[in-house]
Structure 1
Amino acid sequence: MGVRVPAEVDLAVVGGGGAGSLVLTALARHGLPGLRIAVVDPVRKRGQDRTWAFWGTPGGDLEPMLSASWSRVEVTTPAVARVLDLTPLRYAMLRSAPLYARAAEAELRLGATRYDVAVGALDDDGASVTVRDTDGRAVLRAGWVLDSRPRPPRRPGRTAWLQHFRGWWLESSTPVFDPGRAVLMDFRTPQPDRGVSFGYVLPVSDRYALVEYTEFSPALLSDAGYDAGLQGYAGLLGLDLAALTVREVEDGVIPMTDAPFDRRPSPRVVRLGTAGGATRPSTGFTFSAMHRQAGQVAAAVAAGRPPVPRPAYPGRHRWMDAVALRAWNSGAVGGPEFFDRLFDRNPASRVLRFLDGATSPAEDLALMRSSPLLPMTSAVAGDAAGRLRARLIRR
């Protein structure tokens, strides 16, 4: 029996989660006849396993898939509840099932070949990439690989926190939610000794909503800890859990770190999603950057260019995030105080565009001026010293 020769394709998408699904749908919009595409993932994603929330202008390719959207959101601290008008932006919710379904349709339209295997090594020789399974067998050879599997950063960061959460999809037999506005951040929750906690509410209707408890902190909670956080937050909202039905439970953990991620670990391997730097270190938001990068990849392929997206966020924003993380980690600035001043002293659209990496340098200066200056200045100095020490160690 002869040695099996692996198939050859132009582009392999490794990982079929959110980032991979967005890339496939973006590629399908361009048509791309003759492009040989493979999708490599042991799991065929379908159904509701994730909920993404993001902001942007109405319209666009995601519009038919949205579960809900809001032009007004609430940011609440123990002192004040602010209802913010996001115009011209809006906050939107996308659940995973319609995105996975559209990605499956895109695979068919693109004529992609599916490989239901777990990927091990990606051997890049500079001219093509051999995709191997976890036993080391060659699965295929690709001109380029887009890899959205979770990967650790290139080296540890100075601050390594997590955004971790649990959400309950709650259903009521009577109207209890306000579908006209979402709760973006509610800081009335008890604050941990080291970290930030808040709740939020994404209502689909007056009887159905996602209610979530979130922490920004260095360590995860126990199952009982998340449930206690949710029960306490439901009480703050005045919800009678005995009269509500928990239809679904969502859990998640997202890195919040100033550690560098390798967007391009070898000449022909490009990382997407969190592994490709799409997660905003100061908030954990990822979806908008994934969507943006998917469009850039597809446009590059359609134009005959390498499928390499731009960095998800400007360098100055990554630096500002590192400073904020350092200030929270040291206890110099409290998270509720930081976000309270940010939303109090800036238009909501400016804050949200900053979190999306879309503000100008002048707007960034205005945002910096609205932060607690003295402790943030100390954090800046500490960040600079940390960067200098890291450079000296690497030498």
Structure 2
Amino acid sequence: MTGYDYIFAGTGLAGLMVLHEMNKSGVLSGKSVLLLDPEEKDKNDRTWCFWENGAGEWDSVVAKQWFSGFFVNRELRKECFGSGMSYKMIESQSFYNRIFDELKSFPDIVWKQERLLSFVESDLEVIITTDVNTYSGSVFFNSVLDAETLRNKKKYPLLLQHFQGWFVKTSVPFFNHDSATFMDFSVPQNGNTRFMYVLPISDTEALVEYTLFSADVLADAEYENAIAVYLKEKGIADYEIVRKEKGVIPMTTYPFWKGNSKRILHIGSAGGWTKASTGYTFKNSVKQSKRVAAYLKSNPVDFTHFYKPNRFTFYDSLFVDVLYGENQLGCKLFSGMFTKVQPKLVFDFLDEKTSWKEEMKVIWSCPKLPFLKVLLFRLFRF
């Protein structure tokens, strides 16, 4: 059985981001690494978006950025960005290629196209079994999410951010390539939280995505019909679908970190790195990966106490509980935040960079009764 210093199950955003930060900090020097993933990562399989002030460390792989973006509902259209903020999009293939190029200089990194089946920890190692072989590692990073575990933990409501998007190309200029539609709640809600998301790449090209925050996914035809109707209502009749994307992101405050141990760290969505109230992952993966690298450099290996919940974890749990119980409130909730509070404060709140006073401004901009009901339920339940 072959042994390695570090074994990664999954070479998506979290796994490669952790490797990148380990490389920057010198942690990889002289270490053997095994990367396990059933996919080759040789195509654009997803896009990641995030907001940021000014220049950022990932600008070299940013495919497009927008300095203007709008929140829309049936009554208003409000600018969300300003004061140097922009919304940035990274296509996964560019990100993968950058990390792959960085890692070429490490001869002791082994890539295997295998699927994780199980892992067991002992005092001295972790035994990882795949569909092909068995390996041992001193440290194991797992980014493979066990969806069944989430579904079975009724104590922690599970919302899904699920979406399908079309990259469309129109025959004549239609889009404003400098301005994005961050959330468009003017579409029928049908008892859920539903919005359109439009990211123009040029005057004739855009990603048009139909997104829901709800407990259940839809049939493929329902997403596609909604996009087609939206384009028609916007006066776009002559267009080509260049490619499609779809995905499902868990929105939950399930305590993933309780599965961490001395030699095992769950990362990415499997480690709770996805922001429960928004489904955004990229910036949080950057932040947590830096913590991982610093942790490995300055501490004996023991991930038992790597992560600790904070007050934003509590806010997220209230948000998920409210939308899980009353899924139709999403439009009112986001409309309250973006109309009663300056958007910059909303984004700072979502980035967990606000004070208690600022946080109360955002929270009290939302419908109050549903949050009070959830809070009382939690107090009496526990």
- After TM superposition, is the score higher than 0.5? yes
Q: Deviations over 1:285-305 (max 9, x none)?
A: 122111211222223334465
Range with greater deviation from structure 2 (18-27 or 325-334): 325-334
Range with greater deviation from structure 2 (88-97 or 258-267): 258-267
**2:268 — aligned with what?**
273
Which of these residues, 186, 190, 208, is aligned with residue 192 of structure 1? 190
**2:240 — aligned with what?**
245
- Separation in 2 of the partners of 1:69 and 1:332? 31
User: Would you say how many aligned residue pairs link Structure 1 and Structure 2?
Assistant: 376
Range with greater deviation from structure 2 (376-385 or 164-173): 376-385
- Separation in 2 of the partners of 1:33 and 1:258? 35
Cα 1:272–1:158, aligned 2, differ >3 Å: closer, same or farther? closer
- Separation in 2 of the partners of 1:43 and 1:307? 30
- Separation in 2 of the partners of 1:82 and 1:376? 25
CA contact (8 A) 2:158 2:324 kept: no
1:377 aligns with 2:375: no
CA contact (8 A) 2:253 2:272 kept: no
**1:391 — aligned with what?**
none
Cα 1:173–1:52, aligned 2, differ >3 Å: closer, same or farther? same
1:46 aligns with 2:63: no
| 1:167-186 correspondence to structure 2 within 5 Å | 167-186=165-184
Which of these residues, 32, 44, 47, is aligned with residue 36 of structure 1? 32
Cα deviation, residue 307, structure 1: 7.9
1:228 aligns with 2:225: yes
CA contact (8 A) 1:78 1:188 kept: yes
Aligned-partner SS, 2:39:
coil
1:330 aligns with 2:328: no
**2:310 — aligned with what?**
315
CA contact (8 A) 1:11 1:145 kept: yes
Q: Deviations over 1:349-391 (max 9, x none)?
A: 22112223332323212211222223321222123334x1xxx
User: Percent same amino acid among aligned pairs?
Assistant: 28
CA contact (8 A) 1:261 1:276 kept: yes
- Separation in 2 of the partners of 1:69 and 1:156? 39
Range with greater deviation from structure 2 (352-361 or 295-304): 295-304
**What is the TM-score normalised by the length of structure 1?**
0.88
Aligned-partner SS, 2:80:
strand
- Separation in 2 of the partners of 1:364 and 1:20? 32
**1:204 — aligned with what?**
201
**1:126 — aligned with what?**
123
CA contact (8 A) 1:54 1:288 kept: yes
Runs of 4+ in 1 over 6 A off after TM superposition: none
1:166 aligns with 2:155: no
Structure 1 unaligned segments of length 5 or more: list them. 1-5, 389-395
Range with greater deviation from structure 2 (153-162 or 262-271): 153-162
Structure 2 unaligned segments of length 5 or more: list them. none
CA contact (8 A) 2:262 2:301 kept: no
- Separation in 2 of the partners of 1:188 and 1:75? 10
Q: Which amino acid aligns with 1:131?
A: I
Q: Which amino acid aligns with 2:81?
A: D
CA contact (8 A) 2:254 2:272 kept: no
